[in-house]
A and B are shown apart, each in its own frame.
Chain A
Amino acid sequence: MKLLNQTNRIYLYSTGATMLVMLISIFFILKTVIKEELDEQLTQKATVAVEILESGTLPNDPFTIIETVGPHYQSPDIFTDTLIYNSSEGETELFRKLVTTTTIDQNKYRITLLSSELEWQDLIMVLTIIFIVAVLLSILGSFRLNKYLSSKIWEPFFYNLNLLKKFSVKQPADLEFSTSRIDEFQQLKETIEKLTARVSKDYRLLKEFTENASHEFQTPVSIIITKLDSLMQQEQLSKHDAEKLNSIRHAANRISRLTKDTLLLTKIESRQFSVESNINLAAVLSQQVGLHHEIFQTKHLNIQISIPESFSINANPTLLEKMLSNLLSNAFKHNVDHGWIKINLNSKKLIVENSGPDPGIPVNELFDRYKKGFQSSSSFGLGLAIIQEIAVFHRWLVDYSYDNSRHLITVHFNI
């Protein structure tokens, strides 16, 4: 729920409750005040009636009733509410009634005075309505005001929030956060600025470290490989030593390839590649298939290829080549003797299918770095991660599935 709605809701509930209490109180206060006023009027009317009686006439007022009572009649002054039927209007009306007694020249009179409460009731009604309308208007007004104010006051907040949503450590852009005169927002802005700057810096340092470490690895590996090469040149090399040297060189090659692949991943992530238009994917794919032809033969694989004559795409040629090469070498590595590979390219997607054993780990983990399904294989588990990163770089989508001894990788180009 939005903050504004939340505060508005609380405000509405509390205002509503307060106003209701106030309305009820005002109603009763008004009623009491009016009763007192009516009673006072009736008392005055009674005094006037007594004065008229003393002058020997009867008051000419339908709401003043004079009755003669016995000398022993005793009654205090009583104020009551009473309903009287009004025949002209055909309805009962509420009246305030005062019954009092007075003695004039030894004659005792009971005077009953009536005063209609109708107009007062109307007054209360009108006042109540005015009050309710005023309250509603003020609530509505404050809602509007609140909305207007919050759109003004919160503007820098939402602006900064949108900037933050777009923020990515992988594509650090200079974020110009909006300033605010409100202390809290200003503090938030400063904190966010510091935080994003630090995150970007940390990410950059990590990336630089990975790059530098990968570069630094290559020189010692070069020394190992060249020294091994010169050792291998010896004429009197025994078969036993040759095998040992060979496995050392295999290990050195793995280090080298691992650092190259790690470096490549870092570079793709930091967008150090540019996209060129109209790269003929069909031609690059055919060329890659040609390059892998000899290696496919070692497992006697049956290759079925369906590639259109020409299919152009916007891509980085180096990365595209790397992705295709990885796809093909995966299809080879995770294959069986006398297995098959099917390659199908159309304008929407590239499908590489191959026979092979179960990878043994969940499909969604296969694209994670250094995760390898075939624990015995000498790959580092970076092949699929690189394919994935290259696809992400080009805004393509890669999916992988395995069923019935069949691996299937699809690269969707138009998403």
Chain B
Amino acid sequence: MKILIIEDEISLLEEVAIFLRNAGHLCECASTYYEAEDKLALFDYEMIVLDITLPGGDGLDLLKTLKQKHSETGIIIISAKNSLDDKLLGLNIGADDYITKPFHLSELNARVNAVFRRKFHKGDSKVSIAEFVINADAKSVSVLGNPVILTPREYELLEYMTINKNRMLSKQSIAEHLWGDDFDSDNYDFLYVHINNLRKKLVDAGAQDRIKSIYGLGYRFTV
């Protein structure tokens, strides 16, 4: 997927670009309003990750012009403002999703994938990873052709892990993905139960045990 990342904080921009490249996307970067304007005039992108507080102009203006020219492009807004007004405004102008700083890169990746799926893979949304086939529309999973019955939470967990495969996902990032941004806890031990149930169901269905715990930091789904 060809993605343009527009973010004025170079350090963050680099990190997001490296991450999305590792996740298998083609990434380009712009750190100012004008740079972004130029790139958008010259090239087409499937996805744009846009920080709306940009030097040189309002990111929301960029969004407006963008929507007029390339209405098919998926757009995810990054904002430091956790403000409902900005969020609604952005979504009304045509953004597909909205994520507030600070965010987990794995969460951004999940959002990019979800937007991409919604925009470009209408109808067929089956993804094969190793011995799994995941149907994002039906929210179902099969292992080696046999369907596995998962609870909605377990499905979300597996989907999040497969989207961010081979990557250590922090417990907090998993908890926030499953329970929402405002979920506030010092203790993520309860995740353990869900991970264990999921692992058991997958292994029972004949899959390899691919979920590894990393020093209590989080979990990695290895393929």
Contact = CB atoms under 8 A, between A and B. Distances in A.
Contacts of A216: 80
A192 interface: no
Nearest to A296: B190
Contacts of A246: 215-217
A239 B215 CA distance: 6
Interface in A259-276: 260, 263, 267, 272-273
A25 B104 CA distance: 98
Interface string A236-247: 010100110110
Interface in B156-201: 167-168, 170, 172-173, 179-180, 182-187, 189-191, 193-194
Contacts of B218: 232
B164 to A, nearest CB: 10
B40 interface: no
Contacts of A263: 82
A218 interface: yes
Contact of B84 (A245, A297, A318): A318
Interface stretch (B7-15, B110-118, B122-130): B7-15
A322 B100 CA distance: 17
Contacts of B81: 215
Counting chain A residues whose Cβ lies within 8 A of the other chain, the interface size class is 35 or more
Contacts of B217: 232, 242, 245-246
B18 interface: yes
A230 B105 CA distance: 9
Interface string A132-151: 00000000000000000000
A223 B82 contact: no
Contact of B16 (A219, A226, A256, A272): A226
Contact of B15 (A215, A227, A321, A333): A227
B103 interface: yes
A219 B12 contact: yes
A355 interface: no
Contact of A294 (B53, B83, B102, B193): B193
Interface centre among A221, A229, A325, by most chain B C-beta atoms within 10 angstroms, is A229
A298 interface: yes
A273 B84 CA distance: 9
B185 A223 contact: no
A366 B101 CA distance: 30
A222 B167 contact: no
Contact of B104 (A225, A257, A267): A225
B60 to A, nearest CB: 15
A243 B216 CA distance: 8
A233 interface: yes
Contacts of A199: none
B190 A226 contact: no
Contacts of A222: 9, 12, 101-103
A318 to B, nearest CB: 6
Nearest to A318: B84
A239 B213 CA distance: 12
B101 A221 contact: yes
Nearest to B16: A226
A273 B168 CA distance: 38
A217 to B, nearest CB: 8
Nearest to A333: B186
B19 A221 contact: no
A237 B215 contact: yes
Nearest to B8: A219
A261 to B, nearest CB: 9
A257 B82 CA distance: 11
A233 to B, nearest CB: 6
A283 B81 CA distance: 28
Given A215-B80, A226-B105, A297-B190, 8 more contacts: A218-B101, A224-B102, A226-B102, A230-B15, A242-B214, A294-B190, A325-B182, A329-B184
10 contacts: A218-B80, A219-B12, A221-B101, A227-B11, A227-B15, A242-B215, A243-B216, A257-B184, A273-B84, A295-B190
Interface of A: 215-216, 218-219, 221-227, 229-230, 232-233, 237, 239, 242-243, 245-246, 249-250, 252-253, 256-257, 260, 263, 267, 272-273, 291, 294-295, 297-298, 318, 321-322, 325, 329, 333, 378
